[in-house]
Structure 1
Amino acid sequence: MRAAIQNLEICIIGAGIGGLTTALSLVKKGFQNVSVYENAPALGFVGAGIQMAPNMARILTHLGIWEKIATDGVAMEFYSIRDGSSGNNMGLVDCRNIETEYGYRQTGGHRATLVNVLYDACVQNGVKFTFSSTVNPSSEFTERPTFSVTTGDGARYQVQCDLLLGADGIKSNTRQAILKRLNVEAGVKETGQAAYRIMLTREQMQHDPELLALLDGDQTIRWIGEKRHIVAYPISQRSIYNISTTQPDVNFAAAASATYTTRGSKSAMMSVYGDFCPLVLRMLDLAPDEEIVEWKLHVHDPLPTWHQGSVALVGDACHPTLPHLGQGAAQAVEDGAVLSIFLSALPDTSPININKALLGYEKARKIRAETLVGLAAESSRELHLGPGKARDERDRAFTAMKTGVPGKVPDKVMDVDVHKMTYGFDCVQDAMERVLAVFGKGDS
Structure 2
Amino acid sequence: MKIVIAGAGIGGLATALSLHRAGFTDVVVYERVSALRPLGVGINLLPHAVRELTELGLAEAAERIAVKPSRLSYYNRFGQPIWSEPRGTEAGYSWPQLSVHRGEFQMLLVDEVRRRLGADAIRLDSRLVGVEHGEQHEYARFARASGEEFEVTADVFIAADGIHSTLRAQEYPEDGAPVWSGLVLWRGTATVPAYLDGRTMIMAGDGEQKFVAYPLAPADGDDPGSLRLNFIAERRAPEGTTELADWNLPIDPEPIVELFSEWTFDWLDVPATIAAADQILEYPMVDREALPAWRFGSSVLLGDAAHAMYPNGSNGASQAILDARTLAFHLANGVAALGASSGRPDAASTTAAIRTALDAYDADRRPATARLLEMTRALGPERVMQLAYDRAPEGFADVHDVIPADELQQIADDYKRTAGFHPSTLNERASLSASVERGSVAD
Offset of 1:73 from its aligned partner?
Answer: 1.1
Residues 179-199 of structure 1: CA deviation (Å, up to 9, x unaligned): 25xxx5464211212211111
2:322 maps to 1:334: yes
Alignment CA distance shift 1:273-1:217 (3 Å): same
Q: Which residue of 2 aligns with 1:192?
A: 182
Matches within 5 A, 1:40-55: 40-55=33-48
Matches within 5 A, 1:147-158: 147-158=140-151
Structure 2 Cα separation of the partners of residues 312 and 334 of structure 1: 15
2:310 maps to 1:317: no
Greater mean alpha carbon deviation, residues 224-233 or residues 25-34: 224-233
2:264 maps to 1:264: no
Residues 62-103 of structure 1: CA deviation (Å, up to 9, x unaligned): 00011111122111112222222x32333322336x545221
Alignment CA distance shift 1:391-1:54 (3 Å): same
Structure 2 Cα separation of the partners of residues 164 and 365 of structure 1: 17
Offset of 1:398 from its aligned partner?
Answer: 8.4
SS at match of 2:287: strand
Q: Which residue of 2 aligns with 1:83?
A: 76
Would the aligned equivalents of 1:249 and 1:296 in 2 still touch at CA under 8 Å? Answer: no
Higher helix share: 1
Alignment CA distance shift 1:157-1:318 (3 Å): same
Instruction: Name the aligned partner's letter for residue 391 of structure 1.
Output: R
Structure 2 Cα separation of the partners of residues 300 and 106 of structure 1: 26
Question: How many residues align structurally?
Answer: 407
Percentage of pairs with the same residue: 24
SS at match of 2:376: helix
2:14 maps to 1:21: yes
2:30 maps to 1:37: yes
Matches within 5 A, 1:192-231: 192-201=182-191, 205=192, 212-214=193-195, 217-225=198-206, 227-231=208-212
Alignment CA distance shift 1:148-1:393 (3 Å): same
Alignment CA distance shift 1:384-1:132 (3 Å): farther
SS at match of 1:232: strand
SS at match of 1:102: coil
Q: Which residue of 1 aligns with 2:281?
A: 293
Offset of 1:266 from its aligned partner?
Answer: 1.9
Corresponding residue to 1:111 among 102, 107, 112:
102
Residues 275-332 of structure 1: CA deviation (Å, up to 9, x unaligned): 32261111112225xx211012211211010111100000000111111111111110
Greater mean alpha carbon deviation, residues 379-388 or residues 339-348: 379-388
SS at match of 2:229: strand
2:52 maps to 1:62: no
Instruction: Name the aligned partner's letter for residue 330 of structure 2.
Output: F
Structure 2 Cα separation of the partners of residues 29 and 394 of structure 1: 55
Q: Which residue of 1 aligns with 2:224?
A: none
Offset of 1:401 from its aligned partner?
Answer: 11
Q: Which residue of 2 aligns with 1:376?
A: 376
Structure 2 alignment gaps of length 5 or more: 221-227, 339-344, 436-441
Q: TM-score, normalised by structure 1?
A: 0.82
Q: Which residue of 2 aligns with 1:137?
A: 130
Instruction: Name the aligned partner's letter for residue 220 of structure 1.
Output: M
Structure 2 Cα separation of the partners of residues 195 and 116 of structure 1: 24
Structure 1 Cα separation of the partners of residues 230 and 133 of structure 2: 44
Would the aligned equivalents of 2:257 and 2:272 in 1 still touch at CA under 8 Å? Answer: no
Q: Which residue of 2 aligns with 1:5?
A: none
Instruction: Name the aligned partner's letter for residue 416 of structure 1.
Output: D
2:359 maps to 1:359: yes
Residues 236-286 of structure 1: CA deviation (Å, up to 9, x unaligned): 3455211112222459897624xx221223233123323322611111122
Would the aligned equivalents of 1:228 and 1:384 in 2 still touch at CA under 8 Å? Answer: no
Would the aligned equivalents of 2:182 and 2:243 in 1 still touch at CA under 8 Å? Answer: no
SS at match of 1:407: helix
Alignment CA distance shift 1:272-1:80 (3 Å): same
Would the aligned equivalents of 2:11 and 2:324 in 1 still touch at CA under 8 Å? Answer: yes
Instruction: Name the aligned partner's letter for residue 83 of structure 2.
Output: G
Q: Which residue of 2 aligns with 1:343?
A: 331
Instruction: Name the aligned partner's letter for residue 196 of structure 1.
Output: W
Structure 2 Cα separation of the partners of residues 393 and 249 of structure 1: 20
Instruction: Name the aligned partner's letter for residue 93 of structure 1.
Output: E
Instruction: Name the aligned partner's letter for residue 343 of structure 1.
Output: L
Offset of 1:385 from its aligned partner?
Answer: 4.1
Would the aligned equivalents of 1:14 and 1:39 in 2 still touch at CA under 8 Å? Answer: yes
2:230 maps to 1:242: yes
Would the aligned equivalents of 2:290 and 2:373 in 1 still touch at CA under 8 Å? Answer: no
Q: Which residue of 2 aligns with 1:440?
A: none
Q: TM-score, normalised by structure 2?
A: 0.82
